[in-house]
Amino acid sequence: MAETPSSNDIVREENLVYIKTKVLTDNVMHYCPGCGHGTTHRLVAEVIEELGIQSDTIGVAPVGCSVLMYNYMDIDMQEAAHGRAPALATAIKRLLPEKYVFTYQGDGDLAAIGTAETIHACNRGEHFTIIFINNGIYGMTGGQMAPTTLPNMKTSTSPYGRDVKMMGNPLKMTELVATLPGTCFVTRQAVHSPANVRKAKKAIKKAFEYQNLKQGISFVEIVSNCPSGWKMTPLQSNEWMVENMFPFYPLGDIKTPEVKPEVQVEQKEGDVLHDSLNQIDTDSKQVKY
């Protein structure tokens, strides 16, 4: 009878299919099982590693479930007061324009308390990236209704469902910022399936690369789940998200930049970042407003 292989037979370099990026620390993330925050952190970290910008990137963490993001990313990060991340990122990018600067914000942070900061930073055309995690709820504080909560969606403060007559309509921040002249790349992605994870990573990478164009904010919404706040298993929450969130928040690019020859980055030999920037597909249709 053949011997059962031991773990030493299997755990070998040639059998490796995945290595955790060194831009993520070894700290165990506190997120609930199945939550999209963890996957999105990984994608941001992988993009930073692939672009070779670990020591040139400064992130701004929000208030919300991802408040401790700086514990998980091995890069310089700053914590902002609730909703104020775009204001802080503005200061950082203006003082250190050679750095890659991003904010990472939930929907309560970005679309409720930080609406003004978000809209004004996008309208001014600051040159940083916003990663926006839209799970339609205030996850951290117990699942209260957010501006992004869907019509009829039950939350702890709308237990009979969001009645739009009384509670107002959900706010589509991503479509809204796309109308502003200060945004250059606006896209909506998700991370619930391998195919979507790949697309989301590509979008995050482009968003970082577009900072070099100096044409304004690059804005990536990730439609995400909150299994705990939605009171579902991770699997149920992903199915619910596909059935209910995606029709209201459709995935795809909303605005892509026109790459003008005069702002194209000068190519340096062996420069991975600039190589990939100049390969960016600029044929995608630009939405005009």
Ligand X SMILES: Cc1ncc(C[n+]2csc(CCOP(=O)(O)OP(=O)(O)O)c2C)c(N)n1
Which one of residues 229, 256, 259, 277 is an interface residue with ligand SF4 (CB under 6 A)? 229
Q: Which does 63 bind (CB under 5 to 8 A by kind): ligand SF4, Mg ion, ligand X, none?
A: ligand X
80 binds ligand SF4 (CB under 6 A): no
Which one of residues 22, 27, 116, 141 is an interface residue with ligand X (CB under 6 A)? 141
Which one of residues 129, 189, 211, 228 is an interface residue with ligand SF4 (CB under 6 A)? 228
Contact 98, 105 (CB under 8 A): no
107 binds Mg ion (CB under 5 A): yes
63 binds ligand X (CB under 6 A): yes
Shortest Å, Cβ 227 to ligand X: 12
107 binds ligand X (CB under 6 A): yes
Dihedral angle of Cα 209, 214, 217, 221, to the nearest 10 degrees: -20
Q: Which does 32 bind (CB under 5 to 8 A by kind): ligand SF4, ligand X, Mg ion, none?
A: ligand SF4
Scanning 44-52, 58-66, 88-96, 244-252 for contacts with ligand X by CB under 6 A, the matching segment is: 58-66
Which one of residues 34, 83, 106, 216 is an interface residue with Mg ion (CB under 5 A)? 106
Report the residue number, 103 or 135, with the smaller CB distance to ligand X. Answer: 135
Which one of residues 35, 45, 48, 173 is an interface residue with ligand SF4 (CB under 6 A)? 35
211 binds ligand X (CB under 6 A): no
226 binds ligand SF4 (CB under 6 A): yes
Mention every residue, 6+ apart, whose C-beta is less than 8 A from residue 7. none
**Residues 160-189 contacting ligand X, CB under 6 A:** none
Give the residues lining the site for ligand SF4 (CB under 6 A): 31-32, 35, 37, 65, 135, 139-140, 226-229
